[in-house]
Structure 1
Amino acid sequence: MNYALSLASVLLLAISSTVFLLQQVIYYLGIKRGKYVDNAPKENLGTPLISVVVPVKNEPLELIEELIRNVNSLNYPKDRLELIIVSDDEPPYSDEVKSKVNELAKEVDFNIKVFIRDKPIGSKAGALAYGVLRARGDYVLIIDVDSKLSSNAINEGIKCMEQGYDACVYRWLPYLFFPTKIACAVCKSMYYVVDTLYSGRSRWGFFVFPLGSGTLFRKEALKDVGLWDYDIIQDDMWIGVKFMNKGKRIKYLDNEGIRVSVPSTYTSIRTQQLRWAYGVAQVLRKGLRMIVKSKLGLLKKIEAIFFLSQYVPTIFLSLGQGLLLLALFIDKIDPMYKFFYINIVPFIAAAAYVYQFMDSLRRRGYKFFNALRSLGTNASVVATMIPALALNTLKGFLNVREVYKRTPKGV
C-alpha cells in the first residue's frame, strides 16, 4: 500500500513538472527558427481612423493622464485617432474621471470620448464590447490604462493589417511602477514568458492568441465573431478561440512592443495569476468544441488545447505533494529518494528550462547571477501559489462561478 502511494506521488510530481517544463522548452526553441518575414501587402490602407479603446475602473487619475499623453505622442495623424475611455466607476469618482478627461482633451489634437456605464455588466469584457460598438474607426486597438505604446506602434500595426490579418498582437515589454524585489524578478521573467508563449509559438506556426492589452483588431472581425461574452473571465483567450473558430488570422509583431506594467506586490501578482488560471480553464471548457471544429490542422488544434491547459499541471503537482506528505508520514522514508531514478527526466527538462531562461535574459544584457536570482525568486513565488492555482483551475473546469478580480494598477 505504502509502496504504491510513494510511487504514485513521485510519478505525479515527475510527469506534471516534465510536461510543463518541456512545453516551455519546445516553445522557446521556436525563436531559433529564423527571423520574421513580412508577407507582401494585400491592400494599401493609408492612414485609417484608429480607435483606441481603454476600459477603466478605480484607476488613479494620474494613470489616465499618462494614457492621454502617451496617445498624444504617437507618430500618427491626430485627426485619424480617437481615444475611447469606458469607465465602470461609480459616482462621485466617475464624475472626477469624466472631468479630468474633458480637461485634458482640450490640450491634445485628437478626439477623446469618455463613457460612464450606468450598468457595468460583463466587467472588462462588457466594457470592451461597449467601447467597440461606439468606435468610429474601422480598426480598434485595445490597451490597458497603464500600458504605453511606442511612437511607431500604430504604423507597424497598419502594415500588419495590410497583409490581410484580422488582428495584430504587439510584444509585451515589462516596466515597473515600484522596483520591489518581487517586481524586478517578475519583470525579468516576462521576457522569457513572452519569448516562449508568443515569439516561440508564433515562429512554430501555431495559432496566436490576442493579448488583453496590445492587440489591434479589424472592427468588422470583432463584430463577425460576436464581440466578447460577458460571462468570460479571460476575455483575450476567449476572443482568440472565437477568431480561431471563424477562421480569422492573427499575427504576432515581435519587432514592435507595448510597455505593460508589472505588479509590484505578491498580493497583486497572486490576484493576476489566479484570475488567469481560472480564465484559461473556463475558456478551454467552453471553447473545446469550437477549437475542434475550427479549420486549423490537427497538430495546431492539439497545441492550442495544450496552450490553454498550461495551468493543469498545478492540479497534479498539488495532488502529488499531498500524497508525498502522506507517504512520508506513514513510512518515514522520502519517496523522492526511494524512486530517485524517476526524477532523471524532469531534472533534464528543468536543466533545459533554466538554460533557456538564462539565455533569454542574457540576450537582454542581464548578468548571469542577476538572472539566476530572478529565476530563484520566481520559482519561490510560483511554488507558494500552486495549491491556489490548482483550485482555481478546477473551478474553471467545473464552471464554479467566479467574480472578475482586476489586478490593481500602479501598485
Structure 2
Amino acid sequence: MYLSNEGDIEGIKELLDSGIDANYRDIDDRTALHVASCQGLKDVVELLLEWEAEVDPKDRWGSTPLADAIFYKNIDVIKILETHGAKHPMAPMHVEAALEVPEYEINPDELDFTQSREISNGTYCVAMWRGIQVAVKKLDDEVLSDENQVRRFHDELALLQRLRHPNIVQFLGAVTQSNPMMIVTEYLPRGDLRELLKRKGHLKPATAVRYALDIARGMSYLHEIKGDPIIHRDLEPSNILRDDTGHLKVADFAVSKLVTVKEDKPLTFLDTSCRYIAPEVFTSDEYDTKADVFSFALIVQEMIEGRIPFAEKEDSEASEAYACKERPFFKAPSKHYPHGLKSLIEECWLDKPAKRPTFRAIIKRLESILHHMGHKRQWRIKPLTCFQKFEHKKKHNWDVSSPDGSSSGSHL
C-alpha cells in the first residue's frame, strides 16, 4: 500500500513477483488500486491491472477505485479503469428509498437509441420513447466528476419541471437514478431558427413579427412565472425551435438562472454565445430579466436583416462593441421594417437595462404592429377588388348590349 502511494513501480513489481496478492486489502478494505487511483498514478494502476487486480473492489465505505479517481479528477486513471470494465458509481442524484424517486423519473431501458442522431450541435440526440421521438440531453460519465456540470444539470432539471407554456419546449422526464443521467424533452423535427435563417436569409416582415411574438410570449412567461422569475441568459436563434404548426418555442435552459439566486461563478464566454448577450451580463455582478430583452432585440433585427449581429466581428469583438454602446446597423430597406418595429428594437437594446421594455409591453407593441400590417394589407386589397368588380360589370354590360360583340358609343 505504501509503495502504491509513493508510485514505486519497481518495488511493487518485486512484491508481486514474490507472490503478494494484487488484491490485498488493509483494515479499511482498501486495495493498492484504491490508493493508486486516488493519487492519479496511472503506471501503477496499469501494472496492478496487468496482475489481475480486481477492477471494482469496494472499501468499507463502499467506494471503488473508479469512484476515488472521479472524486480526485484523475482523468487518465478514469480512462484506464473504464477500459478495463470498471462500473461507474451511483448517479449523483440517486436516492435509496423507492418513495423518494421523482415522479418525472424515466426508466432508461425505455429509451431506444438504435437510430439516434445528434441535434443542436451535439448537445442533444434524438431517441424513441414509448413510440414517439424525443430529444435527450446526456450528462456523460466523464463529466460526473465535474461538480459544476452536475450542479448545472440539477439546476436545469429543477427549472424545466416548473415550465408549462405553448412557447416553451415541453419537459417530459429525466433519468437521475442511474448513469448516464439524462433530460428528456419533446422533439421538434423542423429544427431551430438558426437553421431557418441560414437557409432563407431574411424573413418576410409578417413572418418575422409573428415569430417575434412567439418568442416574446415564451419569455414573458419565464419572467413572470409564479415564485422566482427566470432569466434565460442564452436567448439566441439556435435555442429557439420550430414546431409542426410553424410556431416558435424557447429551449435550452442550461445557463438559465432564477432572478433571486446569487451567482457563485459569473457567466463566461465558454458557457454561451456572447454575440447575443447583453453587456451587463459580463460587466456587472447584478442584472435582471432585461438582459433577455437585449438578446431579443438582436434576434428580431437578424430576422429582418438576414445576417447575424456584427457579422464582420468575432464573438468576443461583438460583445466588446455592445459594452462600448455600439449596435448593429439597420441595412435592410425601410419597407422591410413594419411601422414601429425599428423603434421597438432600438428601445429593447438601450444601454440602460431599466429603460428597456418588459416582454409584456413588447407583446402589446408587436400585436399592434401586426394589426396595423393586416389593416394596411386590407386597404391595399379593397381598391383592387373594387376595380376588378367594376371591370367585370362593365364587360357584362358590354356583352348584354352588343350580342354580336360590336361596340356603340351609346353604350359608353
Q: Which has the larger radius of gyration?
A: 2
Structure showing greater relative contact order (alpha-carbon pairs closer than 8 Å, 6 or more residues apart): 1
Q: Shared fold by TM > 0.5? A: no
TM-score between the two structures when normalised by the length of structure 1: 0.22
Question: Greater share of helix residues, 1 or 2?
Answer: 1
